[in-house]
Amino acid sequence: MDKKTVGLSGGFKGQTTPKSFIKNAIKGTKHTIAISSAKGGVGKSTFAMNFALALKAVGSKVGILDADIYGPSLPKMMSINEKPKSEDGKSMVPVDQYGVQCMSIGFLVDEETPMIWRGPMVTSAIKTFTQKVLWNDLDFIIVDMPPGTGDTQLTFAQEIKVDGVIIVSTPQEIALSDVRRGIRMFDKLKVPILGLIDNMSFFKTEDGKNYNIFGEGGVEKLCIEYKKKFLGKIPINIDLRVAADGGTPLVEKDPDHKISKLFIEIAKKIKKNNF
C-alpha cells in the first residue's frame, strides 16, 4: 500500500468475499423474487406492491414479505392494521389483503415505533419471517428489500434460494452509483438478476409536456454495461402515489389505469421469461 494514501485493510477486504451456503426456498412458496434498489426512495415499495398485485391479476398465488425492518411500507400501502394470528405462539399466519398473503415488522409494533436495532437483531427478524411464517401454497413470494448492501441482503443471499432480483432505480446519476453496487453485490453473491426497472422515469404535465426530472436513459445504459435485461420505464404518476398513500395499490384500485397496465405487462413478461 502506498504510504501516503490509505485503503481498506486486508481484514476488511476479506469480508467482501462470500463463503458458500446451503440455500432453501421459503417454506410454502415456489418462487422467491426480491425487489431491490440499493438506494432508498426510488419507489421500490410502490413497485413491489403493484407488481405483486399484477402477478395475482395474471393468475398466480402471491405473498409479500416486507423485509425493510427500519422502514416498513407494507402496512400503510396495503392498509393492514391487524396483528398476525398464531396458533402455537411460535409461528405466524400471514395477513390476507386483496387476496395476497402479507407479512411486515409493522404488524408487530405500532406505526411510530422506530426499530432502533443493530444488525444481528435485524438478521434475527428476517430469519423469523422466512422460517416461522406459515406462507400457504404460494407461486411467488415478493420480498420488498431495504436499501443498502448489508445484513438483510446478506441473510437472504446466504440462506434463502432467491430465484431472482428485480432492481428498481430512478435514472438519476447519483442513484445509479448505488445500483452499480447493488448489481455487483448480487452478482458476487450469485443471486440471479431478472432485470432493471427505470422508475420515476419522467413526469408528464396535464398539457402533455414531459419533464425528465431525474435525468434520462441512465438505467438502460446500465443494463447494456452490465448485460442485464431492461424491463421497462414507469413514469412519475400522481395517481400511483396517491393510491399507495391511500392503502390500495393502483393495480388493485384501478386495473385499467394505463400505469396498472404497465405493471401487468411486466408481470406477464417476468412469468413467461423466467418461470
In angstroms, what is the minimal distance from the CB of 5 to a second copy?
4
Task: Give Cα separations from 184 to 18, 72, 110, 129, 168 (angstroms).
Answer: 13, 25, 36, 26, 15
Nearer to a second copy, 49 or 270 (CB): 49
In angstroms, what is the minimal distance from the CB of 272 to a second copy?
30
In angstroms, what is the minimal distance from the CB of 160 to a second copy?
16
Task: Give Cα separations from 3 to 6, 7, 11, 270 (angstroms).
Answer: 7, 10, 18, 50
Nearer to a second copy, 140 or 156 (CB): 156
Nearer to a second copy, 226 or 275 (CB): 226
Residue 264 exposure: Cα atoms within 13 Å on the Cβ side: 16
3-state per-residue secondary structure call for 207-224? CCCEECCCCCCHHHHHHH
Contacts of 201 (CB under 8 A, 6+ apart): 170, 171, 214, 216, 233, 234, 235, 236
Nearer to a second copy, 59 or 114 (CB): 114
In angstroms, what is the minimal distance from the CB of 201 to a second copy?
13
Nearer to a second copy, 131 or 273 (CB): 131
